[in-house]
Amino acid sequence: MGIEGGPRTAVVIGAGVVGLSTAWFLQERGVEVTVVDRDGVAAGASWGNAGWLSPGLAIPLNEPGVLRYGMRSLLDPSAPLHVPATLDTKLWSFLTRFAANCTWRSWGRAVQANLPFNEECLEAFDVLTANGVESPTIEAPILAGFETSRQAVGLLHELRRINRSGLHIDYEVLDRDRLSGYAPQLSSGVRVGIRLDGQRYVDPGEFTRSLARSVVARGGVIRSGFRVTGVDDDAGRLTVRSGAGDGVTADAVVLATGAWLNVLGREWGVRTPVRAGRGYSFTVPTTEPVPGPIYLPAVRVACTPYQGGLRVAGTMEFRDADAPLEPRRVQSIIESARPLLAGVSWEERTDTWVGPRPVTPDGRPLVGATNAPGRFVAGGHGMWGFTHGPVTGRMLAEQITTGKQPGALRDFDPTR
């Protein structure tokens, strides 16, 4: 039975880590939950991402340097940040708003807003893994590698700025002799490293599937192949309709569809646009075991131990969320990372993937109640949806069941 006066039943639209975390924490508060998804569990960005649980690096995308870098590489198809030539006026409108928010003032506000999420995100994972989610989180530092000391200056400035904002990150600069002991995959061309302590990683697809199994074991229902066409309101009872003509009725509905959030969100008063910042990944064998995550900031590539090999992830491509994979983007990751990594069998790659990360123009996600009664939104986390997924679900479940907005969600109001 739900909390007195709160919803007893809920439908969560979206079976990624954000939606399933919300479902799990709603169950903790006595709500019966059905999760629906057009494809299935972990079918989108929750499967192919790097799997970092990294509060030390979970910072907003709208840093001023990104704007400068983006203008230089705007139409370069091989650049880590790419915007294809397009007549999509909505995309250019979004990018204009994004550029206007690439200021230290806007970035600083987003950092402050995200601070509670970064402080509590690992604890939220611990709650899940201590109560039925069997896939583990693995503690390991993230090792950032650079060819020169000059390249490392940007990340060092960023880390100092983050520490001044109130989120403490322990880090240490390493010379070449110490680097090889931490990451044998770094080539001899990498001369300087920065080790970020207090971080973790997961197998993202397996963690999300394990979270789904826990939701079902606790009495929840997950329906795949459920393509939502709308939500009807009959005297406060909400029915989520599918393209097959059936529906699921509940007291509350949570929209957690990632890069597709605006499809329904606009009808509920969500005015902040969400666009797909698509990332690519693949897995390659290595001659030696990979001890922990590796970050190559100069080429914006993230690497993670994954099922006995190395998952390599990178790029930010502003393209339609459902557009097919672009092979040139995969090749650009390989060409940029190859000089920096050793003992990697690039031609034996598997699990080549592209998926959309939901990006907002102001660097803040959309989490909370909408203008439509009983309807809530959880999304827009950019590259950090996995790191912030469980803490998002916990805080939103509190708001849904109590009717009170947690202070940490104030700056994430989806109707802003």
Q: Contact 52/92 with Cβ under 8 angstroms?
A: no
Query: Domain map of the chain by residue range?
Result: 9-412
Q: How many CB atoms lie within 10 A of CB 167?
A: 18
Q: Does domain 9-412 match CATH 3.40.50.720?
A: no
Specify the pLDDT at position 68: 63
Specify the pLDDT at position 76: 65
Q: Helices H, strands E: what count in the chain?
A: 11, 21
Specify the pLDDT at position 61: 84
pLDDT tens-digit profile, the chain (416 residues): 445 668 999 999 999 999 999 999 999 999 999 999 999 999 989 999 999 999 878 888 888 877 665 555 555 666 667 677 677 888 889 989 998 999 989 988 999 999 999 999 999 999 999 999 999 999 999 999 999 999 999 899 989 988 887 778 899 999 988 887 889 999 999 999 999 999 999 999 999 999 999 999 999 999 999 999 999 999 889 999 999 999 999 999 999 999 999 999 999 999 999 999 999 999 999 999 999 999 999 999 999 999 999 999 998 888 899 999 999 999 999 999 999 999 999 999 999 999 999 999 999 999 999 999 999 999 999 999 999 999 999 999 999 999 999 999 999 999 99
CA–CA distance, 402 with 382 (Å, rounded to integer):
27
**CB-facing half-sphere around the CA of 225: CA atoms within 13 A:** 3
Q: Convert 194-240 into a string of H (helix), E (strand) and C (coil).
A: EEECCCEECCHHHHHHHHHHHHHHCCCEEEECCCEEEEEEECCEEEE
User: Left (φ > 0), alpha (ψ -120 to 50) or beta: where does 316 sit?
Assistant: beta
Specify the pLDDT at position 4: 62
Q: Contact 368/376 with Cβ under 8 angstroms?
A: yes
Q: Contact 22/38 with Cβ under 8 angstroms?
A: no
What is this structure's pTM?
0.93
C-alpha dihedral (149, 382, 66, 314), degrees to nearest 10: 50
Specify the pLDDT at position 74: 59
Strand partners, 304: 311
Question: Of 386, 392, 280, 376, which Cα lies nearest the Cα of 337?
Answer: 280
